Structure 1
Amino acid sequence: MKTTTMNYLKDILGDYYRTDEYIKEREKELLYVLEEKMEDCFEEERKSQERMTITTDRRLWTLEKNKRAVERCLNRSDETTQKIIKEIYLNKKTNLTLLGMSQKLFISKTQAYNLRNLFFEQLADELGI
């Protein structure tokens, strides 16, 4: 896997714990802009336009897609892989490396790298990268 792809996936995982917050912020932004544009519209037309705007926003769609992909990959992973990914990439305050995590889980460094790489490959496939 290319380094740029790996870094992109690490960024997605790093932002995972804040994804719900980003989604809510984006929805608020969209509704605020929509409110300004549709001051004179009827309530029914406004609600219809709100739904259409929110469901067609590319940034919002990408955030939701990334969140679902991470959740699906975590759910399909074994317990050891989940611990590795959660501790190193999803934890806000982590000071463990993959080597430290392998020692904590009593597995070899190679096995830890293989599990991590397999998870990243599955995540990339899930995201269509």
Structure 2
Amino acid sequence: MRTSVFHFIEDVLRDYPRTSSYIREVQDNILAPYNPEHDENVGGGRKQNANNRGVENQALTIDSDKAIRKLKEHRDIIEWTLEEADDATRTIITELYFKHRPTLTITGVAMSLNLSRSAASRKRMYFFNQLMKRFGLRP
């Protein structure tokens, strides 16, 4: 596996616990975009009989937004791969990537699971290879 692919998967795994808040943040930016120069009092009132399709456009934008789709896709792939993984692999990934401030290295996690460092590394690498295939990345 190339180093860039390995680091990409590590970054995605580290972002996974906060993915839902990232999705919510992007949706909020679509629903209420920041526009400092917009003033609703300028130019009198609004048209009374104008068609307002703002809500429809926002819903279509949220559905078609590339960032939201990618975040959801990554979240779903990680959840799917975690469900298929064994308990030791789940513990390794959780300890190394999901904690805000990880205290253990791969060696420490391996010792806590009564595994050798190489066995823990093989489990992590197998998990990464599964993610790589599901993300559609080349090795």
d(CA) in 2 for partners of 1:96 and 1:128?
A: 30
Query: Is 2:6 the partner of 1:6?
Result: yes
The higher radius of gyration belongs to 2
Aligned counterpart, 1:98: 106
Aligned counterpart, 2:128: 120
Structure 2: unaligned runs, 5 residues or longer: 39-45
CA deviation vs aligned residue, 1:5-50 (integer Å, no higher than 9, x gap): 00000000111111111000000111124x98xx9642xx333222
The normalised TM-score by structure 1 is 0.89
Seen in structure 2, the aligned counterparts of structure 1 residues 32 and 99 have a Cα distance that, compared at 3 Å, is: same
The normalised TM-score by structure 2 is 0.83
d(CA) in 2 for partners of 1:52 and 1:100?
A: 47
Structure 1: unaligned runs, 5 residues or longer: none
Misfit runs of 4+, over 4 Å? none
d(CA) in 2 for partners of 1:9 and 1:84?
A: 14
CA deviation vs aligned residue, 1:65-101 (integer Å, no higher than 9, x gap): 1111111110010000000001111111211111111
d(CA) in 2 for partners of 1:57 and 1:18?
A: 19
Q: Give the count of matched residue pairs.
A: 125
Q: What are the equivalent positions in structure 2 for 1:20-99 lying under 5 Å apart?
A: 20-33=20-33, 41-42=51-52, 45-99=53-107
Q: CA RMSD in A?
A: 2.0
